[in-house]
Structure 1
């Protein structure tokens, strides 16, 4: 399974998504940007997307909810260790209240993975971040990183809402 990501204005991307209702697409936005994600076994309709391979998936992609994307640069030689360790840690969140879906995306043209989680709402995401499970998994990741120098740079988080025009757009 592959995931292709493109950016643009909300209304342009919504029109593109609506034009292809048979495809699995997620339209997500935040105050700074809007993205359309296309998950498929085949080719994408996007002209110049960022390209990823979904190496672990759980849950069902929903058209509503809160999305958290952790962007994690990983050194080439450490990819297998990272993929195994991260996937095992993320399997533990699947039963949490408000959890909807998870995708670990391997980059096809750079070094930055995306760990995408979808939650029922922002409150469910915040509850997970305040949980002992979150603290435990992140402390293990930090210990592993210090001992193996696995990361190619700092990670960062981006958050979105899914296809909820009234949530952010006011024009």
Structure 2
């Protein structure tokens, strides 16, 4: 399964969503502070002329009931991919058990080096509460230390982007 992601203004992406309304797969329009994104979940090739394609490594829960979406963008070297993916496969799954968490996606990039770890939340308050929780502390234990992932696998600094679910078309 793939998520194809197009970037742009809300109006432009709504036009794309309308253009492809009869295509196979689910569409999710997310609105952010700086720009918006359109996600197309499908087993087919991308319909978008530009953007990025990601393969689903893991998906639990989903967008149903979610209003606040967080993308943790993590640039990983080609050589570091197996180590990075293994770490996520071994994780405790603590995020999904948090109050207000609607889902989690771990996406492997097909045409870039940046993984996306996306968490879906009922609202922003739930995400903020998780960041203050013991499970957040446990999930990030060892970050930046010898217990964590070797820093050499990263090709840049991770960064967060947050969005609100604006529109969805699920088939």
Q: TM-score range by the shorter chain?
A: 0.7 to 0.9
Measured against aligned partners, the alpha-carbon deviations of 1:23-53 in whole angstroms (never above 9, x if no partner) come to 3111011121011011111122211221111
1:90 Cα offset (Å): 6.1
Q: How does 1:36-115 map to 2 (within 5 A)?
A: 36-62=38-64, 64-89=66-91, 91-115=93-117
TM-score (norm 2): 0.86
Distance in 2 of aligned mates of 1:13 and 1:30: 13
Partner of 1:135: 137
Which structure 1 segments of 5+ residues have no match?
A: 165-171
SS of residue in 2 equivalent to 1:149: helix
1:158 Cα offset (Å): 0.5
Whose helix proportion is higher, 1 or 2? 1
Measured against aligned partners, the alpha-carbon deviations of 1:52-108 in whole angstroms (never above 9, x if no partner) come to 111111112237510110010112222112112124326222121101111111111
Matched-pair contact (CA < 8 Å) for 1:63–1:163: no
CA RMSD of aligned residues (A): 2.0
* Alignment: residue pair count: 164
